[in-house]
Amino acid sequence: MQVYDNAWVYGYARVSENAKIRHHAHVCGQVYGNAQICDQAFISQYAQIYDNAFVYNTASVSGYIYSKARIYGNSRVYSEAHVYGNAHLSHNSCVFDYARLYGNARISGSARLFSYAHVYGHAVINNRAKIYGKVYDYAKVSGCGEIYGSVYGKAQVSHTVKVWGRICGRAKLNRQSKLKEVP
């Protein structure tokens, strides 16, 4: 365990193994393995950060961050949410409830994951998109899109489109899209 600079470790904190706490970070949760907490990041008493996870900038975590996940840029991970693998959460984005972000997925631009959402593979979510369902493979969701179903393959959903079913393949949905039922 290594604590540097003006970092604070207090309350119910448990920092062990090769974990590093630096700069002005505040930790009252569990940080272990080779995890690093830097800058002005905040780790709450219920959080667990481990393996090679990295939390920095002004990120705040009360959930679980592990593997090689990166949380930064004023992002938040709440309650029972998990971020792991090589996933990145950045730029004011949040993961709530029991949602999961993993694989090589990237979330940024004030995007949100809620409920039991799963985002994984090489999926990209940004620009205030809200995910309640699943987005995976190489799918992209942006621009206030809301996903309650599944988006996968290389499908793209943008603008204010809401998806309750499945969008897959190379489909592209935006505010001008018109869907027709195929017999």
* Averaged pLDDT of the chain: 95
Q: What is the pLDDT of residue 178?
A: 62
Between CA 61 and CA 112 the distance in angstroms is 15
Q: What is the pLDDT of residue 175?
A: 82
Asked if pLDDT for residue 136 goes beyond 90, the answer is: yes
Share of the chain above pLDDT 90, in %: 92
Please tell me the pTM assigned to this model.
0.95
Asked if pLDDT for residue 182 goes beyond 70, the answer is: no
Condensed to tens digits (0 to 9), the pLDDT of residues 3-18 reads: 999 999 999 999 999 9
Mean pLDDT value of segment 171-175 = 90
Mean pLDDT value of segment 164-173 = 94
75-174 domain in CATH 1.10.3470? Answer: no
Domain ranges for the chain: 1-73, 75-174
Condensed to tens digits (0 to 9), the pLDDT of residues 38-72 reads: 999 999 999 999 999 999 999 999 999 999 999 99
DSSP calls for the chain = -EE-TT-EE-TT-EE-TT-EE-TT-EE-SEE-TT-EE-TT-EE-TT-EE-TT-EE-TT-EESSEE-TT-EE-SS-EE-TT-EE-TT-EE-TT-EE-TT-EE-TT-EE-TT-EE-TT-EE-TT-EE-TT-EESSEE-TT-EE-TT-EESSEE-TT-EE-TT-EESSEE-TT-EE-TT-------
Q: What is the pLDDT of residue 177?
A: 72
Q: Which residue has the higher pLDDT, 1 or 39?
A: 39
